[in-house]
Amino acid sequence: MAHIELLLNDARSFLSEQPESLQGRITELHHVIHEKLGAGNDFLGWLDLPINYNRNEYARILQAAKKIRRQSEVLVVIGIGGSYLGAKAGLEFLNEPFKKNQLEIIFAGHQMSGIYLANLLEYLKNKDFSINVISKSGTTTEPAIAFRILKKALEEKYGKDEAKERIYATTDRQKGALYTVAKENGYEMFIIPDDVGGRFSVLTAVGLLPLAAAGINTDQLLKGAEEAYDRFMNPSLTTNEAYLYAATRYLLYQQDKKVEMLVGYEPNLLYLNEWWKQLFGESEGKDHKGLFVASAGFSTDLHSLGQYIQDGERHLFETVIQVKHSSKDILIPEEEQDLDELNYLKGKKLSYVNEQALKGTMMAHKDGMVPNLLINIPRFDSFTFGYLIYFFEKACAMSAYLIDVNPFNQPGVEAYKKNMFALLGKKGYENIIK
């Protein structure tokens, strides 16, 4: 039995052909992926990470995590895109709201707000902190600016000798600006493998160091990914939920569904949504192809986006994540006067109400001609997070190859950078804007 369950009951009736009809094409592309025959095949290192990660580096990650917790109250993780979203998704997925943890993780370098960074520097003045800077090149504008500023603050607070013991660089194996700075200053370094792109890097030091530092059980996380790896080695759509998901969303796309919304009913899922949007948006959105990926947190967004989803243009479908088991819950009390008319729910668990909201919404949206795919996950734990990450990564590779695009490049990302550099006066970009 699969650790997660994909249910298509509220999607199949919308399909002119069923995903199983694509089995031949899926099997062919499975071979292309695993034999590394397709476009972007030099970035398939993530494929075997659950069983083929560097054990020695992983041991160093765990030791560094202990050192960070011993030294610091705060770890500032500097990175953008895949260099922060996976770790942030894991922290939100696994941490209990309002619980004060041993180590606070704060992210920087994922935007260029002077307000945010100035407030962060003010906050850190009375905190012991360390830095994990994550960048393949070390020249990506947002994290490079943040690192320059935060490194200066760290050195002013502790002096250069102690500061270098509080800086951890996750970067290229042997080249780049960050590699050079780390080597020259003696920072502890961890590797972003050459064949793993940022949005597929959660199971490398990029995600594992911040998560381990936060006290998350990364052993179980890797075991979850390993179980998903084993299960998805078989391309059969009767057992491979990742490929079944890819095939279903492909068929909906072929039927002019242009938007996929990832929906969850728990706040812990909100940053998984953000990671998922980068994963699929950057992997599929090229050559004027691909689904536009969006997300929502229900039932909150039912009071904002709900009207459009129910009655707006019929160009979207939803993938809903349901968490089957709650680690904590609360009973709804009885009120003597019942002015809010809620006594009919007395003694009911709030999770039960949330579940009925999910079921009722799926029924309504299906009636409103919005296909719904349902992903059931058992609970919020490290094993499930690792499994889910690999599920989406494998599905993403298949999805992109189904629409005949390279899943592992992002040529469109460079367009804004060239204009920005020209406007900022960077040498070599003077003639970009005319």
Task: Please give the DSSP secondary-structure letter assigned to residue 246.
Answer: H
Q: Which candidate in 366, 417, 418, 426 is catalytic?
A: 417
Any idea which residue has 């919005």 for tokens? 370
- Could you tell me which of 416, 76, 88, 136 has the C-alpha nearest to residue 274? 88
Torsion angle, alpha carbons of 403, 404, 410, 412, to 10: -80
- C-beta separation of 266 from 379 below 8 A: no
Query: β-strands 5-7, 372-377: how paired?
Result: antiparallel
- C-beta separation of 336 from 298 below 8 A: no
Judged by DSSP in three states, 71 sits in helix
Instruction: Compute how many other C-beta atoms are within 10 angstroms of the C-beta atom of residue 310.
Output: 15
- Could you tell me which of 207, 173, 174, 177 has the C-alpha nearest to residue 192? 173
Contacts of 235 (CB under 8 A, 6+ apart): 23, 26, 27, 30, 243
Say how far apart CA 181 and CA 198 lie, in whole Å: 21
Say how far apart CA 167 and CA 162 lie, in whole Å: 9
Q: Which candidate in 142, 266, 282, 318 is catalytic?
A: 282
User: Does residue 417 have an active-site annotation?
Assistant: yes
- Tell me the catalytic residues: 282, 417
